[in-house]
Amino acid sequence: MLNADEVTVVIVPFPSHGHLNPLLHFSLLLSTRYGLTVHFASTASHNRQAKLRLQGWPLSSLSSIHFHDLPLPPIPSPPPNPQSPNSFPTHLQPLFDATDHLRSPLSSLLLSLSASSRRLIVIHDRHMSLGFDAATTPNAESYAFCGTSAAFHFEAAQLMKQGTGLEELASPEFIRFIERRRRDGFTSSGFIINTCREVESEFLDILALREDFLGKPIFAIGPLNPVPIHNNTDINRDECLEWLDGHPPCSVVYVSFGTMSTISDEQTEQLASGLRRSGHRFLWVLRDADRADIFAFESSSRRLPAGFEKAVEGVGKVVRGWVPQLDILAHRATGGFMSHCGWNSCMEAVSCGVPVMAWPMHSDQPTNARLLAEGLKVGVVVRGWDRRREVVAAERVEEVVRMVMEGEEGRSMREKAVEMGEAVRAALKDGGSAKEAMDVLVAHWRR
């Protein structure tokens, strides 16, 4: 076998947590388990963000990766608007557009590494533009990383072909941004997707026949998130895990809408009322969506109904900052997950065997919610996409929580979630579909 140092891998993430997170996991897999030399190139603040929010790996593992801080000019960092009729995070568009400024320093880095490597492998998020043509560099290959579900790639392609429908999922500015970025994908040597055949076999087969993917290999290597050990007893555990320790198995509803979603004040009030009325234990992460300048605004001051936290003390806990979601989902006390259904959250819930109360808000989330609820039967949709502009009443929140946490229907969901979790975890082991795809990919780079 060739020396791994002869192959250099450069990871180019999109600067938002949902994109940074899986590619950092991927980088650690390549560096620690396959012995490859891995470089991670993003802005200084987003490199820092990725490191501080690392889950499932010891912090010491970060030393196996070479981080490169790419310069970015000052950009606006407006707050999210929780009252906006469109829940898409339009406040981050200045950051997205500013990634064009990364093309030149990134190209210089890639050229430098290409000159000192036998083979240079560039893995770039599909939302990133490289400013570097691997096709004209004899020892370089580029691969597009797809951080959303295969089901969404299929659905988005259908909508683009029809010329309608995407405007309901994202802002016009972001749709135009994505259209520009699609061109880089056409020059890639293949596609890497954070999914596996156990979850999306049908859609992976369909993608292989589509124009964007035709003739290029698709490597389904997910879930990229580590699968945590239940009841991790690490001395540096987060306080919310200590709180979960005091509750019975499968008794707590975990509520979190991710790092790019903010619900309205009216919706917050209805959700609070519904959780309280359900009578079930809950751990609720109530925070604003990330801003471009993430570390200036890490926590939230969102208001709850007067006296709410005191009234639910011991039964419910509200957290206003970032939490270690993987460890929460893996905890024995967690029995259900009320989620926006970002793809990372979906894969984490599935790999931990936790049923999902799906509350999609934008982008790929409606597709993911349907996949979990209708395809895999491991969840229920809280609010149909056709009613996305409506406030979900407390009565519906109570109904869904009771449905998942009680009775025959909830028991069936939990059983299916546990079975799916076992299948997905098996996919990551020797002989599993995801592990085999990863082995084939790395062997191809080392040829």
Question: Any idea which residues carry the catalytic annotation?
Answer: 19, 125
Q: Whole-angstrom Cα distance, residue 447 to residue 444?
A: 5
Name, in order, each residue with C-beta under 8 angstroms of 119's C-beta and a sequence gap of 6 or more: 6, 7, 8, 139, 140, 141, 445
* Long-range CB contact pairs, 203-210, < 8 A, 24+: 203/149, 203/150, 203/151, 203/153, 203/154, 204/150, 206/150, 206/154, 207/150, 207/153, 207/154, 210/153, 210/154, 210/157
Strand partners, 219: 192
Conformation bin of residue 35: beta by default, left when phi > 0, alpha when psi is -120 to 50: left
Q: Whole-angstrom Cα distance, residue 181 to residue 250?
A: 43
Q: And the tokens for 428? A: 């990551």
Q: Whole-angstrom Cα distance, residue 95 to residue 74?
A: 10
Q: Which of 373, 439, 432 lies closest to 227, judged by CA?
A: 432
Q: How much of the chain is helix, strand and coil, in % rounded to 5?
A: 45, 15, 40
Q: Which of 123, 150, 153 lies closest to 222, judged by CA?
A: 150
Query: Tokens 């390549």 — which residue?
Result: 30
